[in-house]
Structure 1
Amino acid sequence: MFKVSICTAIATSLFFLLFSSPPKLSYHSLYISSSLSDNASISHHLYTLTRRPHIAGSKANADAAAYVLSTLSSYAVRSHIVSYDVALTYPVSRSLTLIRPTPEPSTTFDLRQEIYDGDPYADVASEVVPTFHAYAKSGTVAGPVVYVNYGRVEDYEVLKEMGVSVEGTVVLARYGKIFRGDIVQNAFAAGAIGAVVYTDRKDYGGGGGDARWFPDDKWMPPSGVQVGSVLTVDGDPTTPGWASTRDECERLSEEEVENGGGVGMIPSLPISAADGEAIMRTIGGQVANDDWQGSTDAPVYRVGPGPAILNLSYTGEQKITTIQNVFGVIEGTEEPDRFVLLGNHRDAWTFGAVDPNSGTATLLEVAQRLRKLQKRGWRPRRTIVLCNWDAEEYGLTGSTEWVEENREMLASKAIAYLNVDSAVSGAGFYASATPQLDELLKQATQQVQDPDNSSQSIYESWVGSSNSPIIGRLGGGGSDFAAFVQHVGIPATEISFGAGYPVYHSMYDDFIWMKNFGDPNFHRHAAVASIWGLVALRLADEEFLPFDYLSYAYELQVCILS
């Protein structure tokens, strides 16, 4: 009798798999078909989202939130906004003066990014917030300059071996290799009284020489400045561990925040390549090592200290500011209380065509395709939640506050969190994940055509000459997956095309840069939407979750043995 029951159950299951109409897999295949993809719509979304600078807390960013909300609603996605009141900082005043030995004149830098001839965004350039480091310490300092390369711990060890002390100096560091907040914290730990971080032409300007820059080429112009936060903790620093809800909530004082660490402990400023080289020409002392040198036509880099002196002044203002997370919900039919979350942030330091609105435009493309599936009869087994975060640039703030508020719910109900920050900055597919999602990513990329080579799949181009694709890990921060992985332990992924771009966090990260250099036909955006949505569909629709814990076990074994 037992064997008969098993056979009957198997036969019944096969009947439903074969004759239920239509099977989920057919919808998944339809989702990635060219008939549902809309490159023109993606382009329109990106153009609209990046028409004005939209830093967190600004009216322009609130308008962008309204656009995301209305677009999701137009796709019949049930949408809403969740707001938080968080502590953000903005520049009030800043100045930087280079004092040369007499009789050489002093130079006060204008700290401005230049508008280029024919710039279509010249009419709104005045809305760009002056270049600054969010959460930098206010104050005025003056001291001889020491060049510290990338400002890493090992760079200070090299200086120590050279007999160079940074105690009481203003350090000059170049962007790259490590997070800017760590550059400033390392300088403080070494005894510096201030930090200036510049965009070296060797790393961002095409290597110097005859290199051209935007708008003629993809490289950062000499006046370009990488803005950013120096906060080294995630979320609102005045509410560590709990949500900054809109009702009056308990907050740490500014003194408690400073004592607790995470914010800048010395004044700092980001500056351009042109200003950085001007300072470099005044530094004496020993010649820096070969791997510390700049482009071939740059001045010889010396480490100092001095003899020139930098006078750095920065005043910032902390404001309790309303931020807005936008959510779209497609409710599941069989397991509505289990959630597959797709997330991207919306706020940008300036126009944000790559970071982050290539991801926002792609998120809206995913929503549009899912709506087209719904019109054909598809309904997800589990609930899909589309998340558009605010204030990520300040310190993953919008996502962290929401996770802090919903930690218990997420721990029991969330299946996975799929993040896309900068969806497209160039060619080449990149992915990071927690190990149980490795195989799912591989399978999804095998089904999607490479946007730069129609003769093969993304997986085939991703593998390249190696035997398997390289999937990074999400152990650090850097984007909105952090709170989900580190606070709640939810499986997560991060995908993109391109691994970085020269005009990062500058006012030149605009629609023209994307249209000319990042993704002229928006095929890469469409490919990201295909992979992102396909992974989400499989997690939302399959009866048994497609997790691979053999990969997870192997990863743990490697960590233990190492």
Structure 2
Amino acid sequence: MKALHISEKQDIEFWPRIEPDLGPSVQARSSRAALVLGGCLSYLALSLFLFPSWPPFRNCKHSKWHRERMPLSMLEEIMMLTPQEEEARKHSDYYTSGPHLGGKNFSQAMWTKERWEEYGIPEVEIVSYDIYTNYPKSHRLGLLKAKGDDYKLLYEASLEEPALEEDPTTALKDRIPTFHGYSANGNVTAEFVYANYGTYNDFEDLLSHGVNVTGKVVLCKYGHIFRGLKVKRAQDLGAVGVLIYSDPGDDGKITELNGYKAYPDGPARNKESVQRGSVQFLSFGPGDPTTPGYASKPGVERQDPSPFIPSIPSLPISYMDALPLLTALNGHGKNTSEFGEYWRTGGLYHKNVQYFSGPAKGIVVNLHNEVEYVITPHWNVIGKIPGYIKDETVIIGNHRDAWIAGGAADPNSGSAALLEIAKSFGKMIELGWKPARTILLASWDGEEYGLLGSTEWVEDHQKLLHTTALAYLNVDVGARSPVFSVAANPLLQDLVFNATQKVVDPNRAQQGHFDDSVYDVWNKKVRTLGSGSDYTAFQDHLGIPSVDMGFGGEDANGPVYHYHSNYDSFHWMEKFGDPGFKYHVAIAKIWGLMALQLAETPIVSFNATAYASSLACLKDFVSASQKFDAEASRLAHELAKDIPWWNWWKKAALWLKARAINQKYKYLDRAFLHPEGLDDGRHWFKHVVYAPGKWTGYSGDVFPGLLEAGREGNWTNVCRWVRIIRHSVDVATKELSGPL
């Protein structure tokens, strides 16, 4: 939607109409009186609407509209002092104390709502959606050798993570079995092949070397791309099932082979850990696969989900269960180390694994997966702190659900931090604070299955979000290492830099370096947004600038993170991930400071120049962005000056201009939405600039439509996408260059 400029509004009149039938002198006196009265009334109305805490209301103690504005510095001080390590630890302990799969965590939703209300968040509600999803019933994986018309069992996989005495939640009676979300039911017996990471290029390598996967079960490693796309590519090529395991070759130097003990005794990977996860085709559309593009409310029409979820069964397995399968392929098919360096990353050579492709004649696997598909409620908790400016909203969110009882890092380190932010906001409210802009807090359900809760909520509120949302700030894994990691829309780049400069790095502080901020020790790399967490619907579907961040970067000297495993537990977090919960507090501070900066500063803290510069070779857009940012900076400087109350015309003019600038910033990213969406069944993704890679899922592509058309050699589509991009850039450029 085109931003509406103040100069274009026809319903705002600063001067009253003058009736033409009055006498000359009366008319003159009436005009002067009308000018004075109209001016005062206009100033009154504009002050109430745009800046209720600024003159003349700052000193009007008896005005019912009066709110004493707390300076941003004071708000930031509260945000820096309120979050506490012991409180974050208590929150983490609660969230990780029992199973909380998507659609099975209502008690946690209620608990979260009650805590927010207790802390003073004024409006809190639970919003539910009826979503199509699956839950595990039974599974089996056997390695068999043909013997006449029958088979001999060579190995029976455990498909279970053993309980650990040191780690209480791993032994819960109701712990969640290993399975894949949105996996298909099936019982297949077939030969199998090894496909490295199961990427698009890996399958191309197999085919080019004469290894056919049709009718086979594919065995591949986790890593590099989203797991659901491994299954999709195998399915497209005719495979009948997929097995995915975690190879210690991807754990860097922290391995048992290098002398490190395995969890729970040390930081290396437990050989029986299993990565659960969704196999939804994430880069083709998140959310409920039966309601693409609209919310899953009771009674809605539902579509065939097959374009978005697999039709062949799959299972996640440990590398302990993968070993017998891999060694059974030794000497059969092709030696994949000859395929190139990319295929030589396995970490099980010392276990007699030679990483041959297979298949091995007469050696088969029996893969059995039984899941139950249901339509069941998922519960989002939404908190609202109403601001003075009703059509500018800042949203911060994290998901609650996890594949296991734990989830101490993913997602509940973020959940614990969000509670500390809510507590900080509550203290500000108690002191009389009301934000300039509305702030929404969101605790999402069903993220792990495919960003379910957030996607359905965004689809449900897309018209309102289009006209009000400024930005979405997401934290998923808040803390699992001391390494800060961020992916963001460039509009929010300065916001990240500013907040990280204000928070001391906990490890450096512990070493006595209290002047070393998170910004100082961070590599300053801001990645392109792809998908994999709840920012996706905001950024890729509605063009709402988003950021995803946390202390979740890879630490070469740190412990192996047991992603989506029972061993992502409170015990692991307390011993290895974030002892002392210092980084839980650090991410809460960074997150909260960013939200305050967006909600409170007169000029929205966006950087259009960074956005334009990230899109190479679009000089006109860069020039317009530079001029616009310069004008925004100049105006912010003018607004910071102490203007006498009687010079209200200048104050009013400045705030009207600020309003216009903020509206342009708000709608800038919307200029890059293409209503028809991307090609090849990816119509849900509307953004011309940002989308997950078609065959990567997690990592993001810039100009995805153009890139995919080029990769596929479709030059007609290349030309079409060039025109689409050029049009979007022209719209954005004209918007920034237009009158204020």
The TM-score normalised by the length of structure 2 is 0.69
The match for 1:241 is 293
- What secondary structure does 2:375 align onto? strand
The answer as to 2:126 corresponding to 1:66 is no
CA deviations on 1:131-186 (whole Å, 9 max, x unpaired) are: 11111121121211211000011112222233222222111101011110011111
Counterpart selection for 2:241 from 194, 197, 202 = 194
The match for 2:366 is 311
Identity of aligned residues (%): 39
- What secondary structure does 2:478 align onto? coil
Per the TM alignment, residue 28 of structure 1 is displaced from its structure 2 partner at its CA by: 3.6
Query: Is the CA contact (8 Å cut-off) linking 2:247 and 2:346 kept in structure 1?
Result: no
The match for 1:400 is 455
Per the TM alignment, residue 357 of structure 1 is displaced from its structure 2 partner at its CA by: 0.6
The answer as to 2:224 corresponding to 1:177 is yes
Q: Which amino acid aligns with 1:51?
A: S
CA deviations on 1:71-94 (whole Å, 9 max, x unpaired) are: 101101121100111111012221
The match for 2:379 is 324
Counterpart selection for 1:373 from 425, 428, 431 = 428
Structure 1 distance, partners of 2:127, 2:309, is 26
The answer as to 2:164 corresponding to 1:119 is no
CA deviations on 1:318-358 (whole Å, 9 max, x unpaired) are: 111111000111111x2134211000000110021111111
Per the TM alignment, residue 486 of structure 1 is displaced from its structure 2 partner at its CA by: 1.3
Q: Provide closer, same or farther for how the CA distance between residues 227 and 123 of structure 1 changes in structure 2, counting only shifts above 3 A.
A: closer
The match for 1:357 is 412
Counterpart selection for 2:279 from 230, 234, 239 = 230
The answer as to 2:268 corresponding to 1:219 is yes
Q: Which amino acid aligns with 1:91?
A: P
Point out the more displaced range, 298-307 or 528-537.
298-307
Counterpart selection for 1:495 from 536, 542, 549 = 549
Q: Gaps spanning 5+ residues in structure 2: where? A: 1-38, 60-67, 555-559, 618-701, 708-740
Point out the more displaced range, 307-316 or 504-513.
307-316
Q: Which amino acid aligns with 1:129?
A: I
The match for 2:728 is none
CA deviations on 1:253-309 (whole Å, 9 max, x unpaired) are: xxx222xx1101211111111001121111132322152432452322211112321
The match for 1:85 is 130
The match for 2:470 is 415
Larger Rg: 2
Point out the more displaced range, 552-561 or 109-118.
552-561
Query: Is the CA contact (8 Å cut-off) linking 2:189 and 2:367 kept in structure 1?
Result: yes
- What secondary structure does 1:494 align onto? strand
The match for 1:29 is 76
Counterpart selection for 2:102 from 56, 68, 75 = 56
Per the TM alignment, residue 32 of structure 1 is displaced from its structure 2 partner at its CA by: 4.2
Structure 1 distance, partners of 2:197, 2:171, is 35
Structure 2 distance, partners of 1:320, 1:101, is 41
Per the TM alignment, residue 99 of structure 1 is displaced from its structure 2 partner at its CA by: 0.6
Per the TM alignment, residue 490 of structure 1 is displaced from its structure 2 partner at its CA by: 0.5
- What secondary structure does 2:328 align onto? coil
The match for 1:521 is 580
Q: Provide closer, same or farther for how the CA distance between residues 432 and 122 of structure 1 changes in structure 2, counting only shifts above 3 A.
A: closer
Counterpart selection for 1:443 from 492, 498, 514 = 498
Q: Which amino acid aligns with 1:121?
A: T
Q: Provide closer, same or farther for how the CA distance between residues 122 and 551 of structure 1 changes in structure 2, counting only shifts above 3 A.
A: closer
Structure 1 distance, partners of 2:187, 2:376, is 26
The match for 1:203 is 250
The answer as to 2:535 corresponding to 1:481 is yes
- What secondary structure does 2:205 align onto? helix
Q: Which amino acid aligns with 1:235?
A: G
The answer as to 2:315 corresponding to 1:264 is no
Structure 1 distance, partners of 2:450, 2:413, is 19
Structure 1 distance, partners of 2:373, 2:89, is 35
CA RMSD of aligned residues (A): 2.4
Query: Is the CA contact (8 Å cut-off) linking 1:208 and 1:296 kept in structure 2?
Result: no
Q: Which amino acid aligns with 2:161?
A: Q
Per the TM alignment, residue 204 of structure 1 is displaced from its structure 2 partner at its CA by: 4.5
Q: Which has the higher contact order (CA 8 A, sep 6+)?
A: 1
Structure 2 distance, partners of 1:104, 1:320, is 40
1:461-472 pair list within 5 angstroms: 461-463=521-523, 469-472=524-527
Counterpart selection for 1:427 from 482, 485, 501 = 482
The match for 1:466 is none
Query: Is the CA contact (8 Å cut-off) linking 2:287 and 2:456 kept in structure 1?
Result: yes
The match for 2:302 is 251
Query: Is the CA contact (8 Å cut-off) linking 1:31 and 1:530 kept in structure 2?
Result: no
Q: Which amino acid aligns with 1:115?
A: A
Structure 2 distance, partners of 1:122, 1:426, is 22
The TM-score normalised by the length of structure 1 is 0.90
Per the TM alignment, residue 16 of structure 1 is displaced from its structure 2 partner at its CA by: 6.4
The match for 1:139 is 186
Structure with a larger share of its residues in helix: 2
- What secondary structure does 2:416 align onto? helix
Aligned pairs, how many?
535
Structure 1 distance, partners of 2:296, 2:364, is 42
Structure 2 distance, partners of 1:529, 1:545, is 21
- What secondary structure does 1:309 align onto? strand
Structure 2 distance, partners of 1:505, 1:372, is 35
Query: Is the CA contact (8 Å cut-off) linking 2:120 and 2:429 kept in structure 1?
Result: no
Structure 2 distance, partners of 1:112, 1:461, is 39
- What secondary structure does 1:140 align onto? strand
The match for 1:47 is 93
CA deviations on 1:395-430 (whole Å, 9 max, x unpaired) are: 100000001110000000111110001111111111
- What secondary structure does 1:281 align onto? helix
Per the TM alignment, residue 499 of structure 1 is displaced from its structure 2 partner at its CA by: 2.3
